[in-house]
Chains A and B, each alone.
Chain A
Amino acid sequence: MTRSPLGRPSCAAGLEINPVSDGYIVYQPDRDRIHYLNATAAVVLELCNGRNDANELAALLQLAFDLGKPPHDAVSECLATLMREGLVR
Chain B
Amino acid sequence: MAIERHRELGAWNNDGEIRLTVDGQDVDFELTAVQAGENLLRRMHREALAALPDHVRFRAVIGRSGGRSFLVVGPRRSGKTTLALGLLLAGCEVSGDELVLLRDGQAVAFPWRFMVNEPSVALLPPLRALPPVVARGGALARDWWFATDPTAFGQPWDIRPAAIESVFWLEPGHGSRSVVIEIGKLDMTRRLLSQTTAPPSKRSGWLGDITRLVEAARTFRVEMGDVASTCVAVADRV
- Asked if A16 and B185 sit within 8 Å, CB to CB, the answer is no
Q: How many A-B residue pairs have CB under 8 A?
A: 37
For the complex formed, measure the closest distance between the CB of A75 and the CB atoms of chain B, giving whole angstroms: 20
Interface residue A12 (Cβ < 8 Å from any Cβ of B) = no
Q: State the interface size on chain B (CB cutoff 8 A).
A: 15
Judged by DSSP, the binding face of A is strand
- Asked if B211 and A25 sit within 8 Å, CB to CB, the answer is yes
For the complex formed, measure the closest distance between the CB of B222 and the CB atoms of chain A, giving whole angstroms: 20
- Asked if B193 and A18 sit within 8 Å, CB to CB, the answer is no
- Asked if A20 and B207 sit within 8 Å, CB to CB, the answer is no
For the complex formed, measure the closest distance between the CB of B214 and the CB atoms of chain A, giving whole angstroms: 6
A42→B198 CA distance, assembly (Å): 24
- Asked if A20 and B186 sit within 8 Å, CB to CB, the answer is yes
- Asked if A22 and B186 sit within 8 Å, CB to CB, the answer is yes
A34→B207 CA distance, assembly (Å): 9
Interface residue B136 (Cβ < 8 Å from any Cβ of A) = no
Closest chain B residue to A17, Cβ basis: B208
Interface residue B47 (Cβ < 8 Å from any Cβ of A) = no
Neighbour of A21 across the interface among B190, B204, B215, CB < 8 A: B215
Interface residue A81 (Cβ < 8 Å from any Cβ of B) = no
Q: Which residues of B lie under 8 Å from residue A22 when comparing CB positions?
A: 184-186
Interface residue B65 (Cβ < 8 Å from any Cβ of A) = no
Q: Which residues of A lie under 8 Å from residue B208 when comparing CB positions?
A: 16, 18
Please judge, given known A-B contacts A18-B211, A19-B211, A20-B215, whether A25 and B204 are in contact too, CB under 8 Å. no
For the complex formed, measure the closest distance between the CB of A37 and the CB atoms of chain B, giving whole angstroms: 8
A38→B214 CA distance, assembly (Å): 16
For the complex formed, measure the closest distance between the CB of A27 and the CB atoms of chain B, giving whole angstroms: 5
Interface residue B155 (Cβ < 8 Å from any Cβ of A) = no
- Asked if A27 and B207 sit within 8 Å, CB to CB, the answer is yes
- Asked if B186 and A18 sit within 8 Å, CB to CB, the answer is no
Closest chain B residue to A42, Cβ basis: B186
A25→B185 CA distance, assembly (Å): 10
Q: Which residues of B lie under 8 Å from residue A27 when comparing CB positions?
A: 207
Interface residue B189 (Cβ < 8 Å from any Cβ of A) = yes
A6→B215 CA distance, assembly (Å): 33
A76→B164 CA distance, assembly (Å): 39
Q: Known pairs A16-B207, A20-B211; list 10 more (Cβ under 8 Å).
A: A18-B207, A18-B208, A19-B211, A19-B215, A20-B214, A20-B215, A21-B184, A25-B186, A36-B189, A38-B186
Please provide the 10 A-B residue pairs with the shortest distance between their CB atoms, ordered closest to farther. A20-B185, A18-B211, A23-B186, A22-B184, A27-B207, A18-B208, A22-B186, A20-B215, A21-B185, A25-B211
